[in-house]
Structure 1
Amino acid sequence: MYGLLKCPGCGHRAVESDGDDVTEDENGFANKKCGDCAVQHCTCGDDEGLITIVADWETVSDDEGCTTSPDMLPVIITVPATTQEEAVEAASDKLQEHFGPSVEALFEDEIERDFWFGLNDHDAFLRLGAVLQGAPAVIGNDGLFTVLR
């Protein structure tokens, strides 16, 4: 991608050069990480602009109209944000990117980003369990959560 600098974390051309704050070294690497690497590799004290959401699945109606609980893992999502509202918006984008528009366990094949947390008066697929400042480490996950960072 023309005009983007290489991320020192992943090596992809994903960092925008804004002239003053973001500079390039002799190998084309930026002096800061891309958004994905900044979230994935954050450390204590370095996660001020991050919020982590823990959420579980609401019940949904199956193809026959019966209410059922989706057989899906709870999610832990860390996003760059400063308020809960910003975090929910950013998490909705991340969920849409991760799961896409069709999820069999939710009995939906035209999912939009607003469906995940019930934005703009939609029925929510997920309910907030906790909203945490920063990016806490997930210990002993062992496949018990879907972790998006």
Structure 2
Amino acid sequence: MKYEIPSYIEIPSADAPAAERVAAGAALLDKNLPGWAARIDTETFSLASLYKCILGQLFGFYDTGMRAIGWSWDDDVMAQRFGFHMGNCDDTWAAWERCRDGRAPGQDCGCGRYDEGQQAWLREIASRNHPAAVADDDHDTHLVRL
């Protein structure tokens, strides 16, 4: 089953700010997988991990989550546009592996892409699990309110 992209979401470009892309991804999950945020273990969450990322925690593995949404590896740019991954510093597989492998949650190769995405997802998760704790005047979060 392919996930429905809500009509109120303007799909960001793959190079849009991380917070904008992650907000779109969170809204996609809100529409198609209610309660998803409560299932994320923020202590082990690592956007750069195939198992501990958003899709990894929800579906067991990043690729399984891609298929659940209705995407394949060939749709990788869609995953990037929805903030499920941040892209690579030099757009090569080796660069992505450097960003991902052997890093603690939130760390990347130094380009900052995965750290920005990590923080954006943590804000989106907190806004759903603890809405009172997220300040209304935090203009950097780009939260999508339903």
TM-score under structure 2 length normalisation: 0.28
| Larger-Rg structure | 1
Q: Which one has a larger percent strand, Structure 1 or Structure 2?
A: 1
Q: Which has the higher contact order (CA 8 A, sep 6+)?
A: 2
Q: Which one has a larger percent helix, Structure 1 or Structure 2?
A: 2
